[in-house]
Amino acid sequence: MSELAIQAIGFVGVAFFIASYQIKSNRALFLCQMIGCLIFCVQFFIMGAYTGAVSLIINIIRNLLLVKRKDWKWVERKSTMLVILALLTAMTIYTWEGVISLLPFIMVAVTTIGYWSNNAQKIRLSQFIGSPCVLLYDILIRSWGGVLNETITLLSIIISVIRFGWKNMGKPDSDF
């Protein structure tokens, strides 16, 4: 596959992440991000960035569980979150590519904790903390769509806070 085609895959993923930060509903945010993660996962596998790709698979699993939060009450348990974090840890060790592997690990770990709160304010804050880690990872593996995505992600988080108000994001989302 050509370098241009590989980079184009990442730019498709960007569109889904842009949309996700302009949606007030946590449930819709998770769905858009699952699609974006899947697209970047494909790109990372093609690029040989396996820790990043596997962390995105765990992201997808996590988001799917959170979308089904109403239907599967066991998902709300802290123990479910801890299982996801344990899986992330094991897969990071398995795909270890050096210190660079800590970057996607931190992103998924921090956002998992934030997402489990079902609180838009904490979710956006966890993304704002984790996003720079993925931005650096994307720079190091040369995923230019990823670099653009994380830059836009940071800006989109700021816009969503301005749009919906930081204080208004402090309440649990009624979509769950």
Q: How confident is the model at residue 173 (pLDDT cuts 50, 70, 90)?
A: low
In a domain, 154, yes or no: yes
In a domain, 67, yes or no: yes
In a domain, 107, yes or no: yes
Which are the contacts of 31, defined by CB distance < 8 A and separation ≥ 6? 63, 67
Strand, helix or coil for residue 105? helix
- Give the domain extent around 91: 3-170
pLDDT at 91: 97
More confident of the two residues 84 and 20: 84
In a domain, 175, yes or no: no
In a domain, 33, yes or no: yes
Q: Report the amino acid identity of residue 52.
A: G
Closest C-alpha among 148, 166, 141, 63 to residue 108: 63
At 83-104, the pLDDT tens digits run 999 999 999 999 999 999 999 9
Task: Please calculate the CA angle 148-27-119 and round it to the nearest 5 degrees.
Answer: 90
In a domain, 19, yes or no: yes
pLDDT at 176: 41
Q: At what angle do helices 50-67 and 26-47 cross, to 10 degrees?
A: 160
Q: How many CB atoms lie within 10 A of CB 165?
A: 11
Least-confidence region, from 10-19, 79-88, 139-148: 10-19
Q: Report the amino acid identity of residue 172.
A: P
Has residue 127 got a pLDDT over 60?
yes
Q: How confident is the model at residue 171 (pLDDT cuts 50, 70, 90)?
A: low
Q: What percent of the chain has pLDDT over 90?
A: 55
In a domain, 56, yes or no: yes
Q: Report the amino acid identity of residue 91.
A: M
More confident of the two residues 89 and 154: 89
In a domain, 134, yes or no: yes
The total of structural domains in the chain comes to 1
Cβ atoms 46, 1 nearer than 8 A: yes
Strand, helix or coil for residue 60? helix
Least-confidence region, from 15-24, 123-132, 133-142: 15-24
Q: Which of 6-20, 61-75, 137-151 has the highest mean pLDDT?
A: 137-151
Q: How many CB atoms lie within 10 A of CB 131?
A: 21
Whose tokens are 């993304």? That residue is: 127
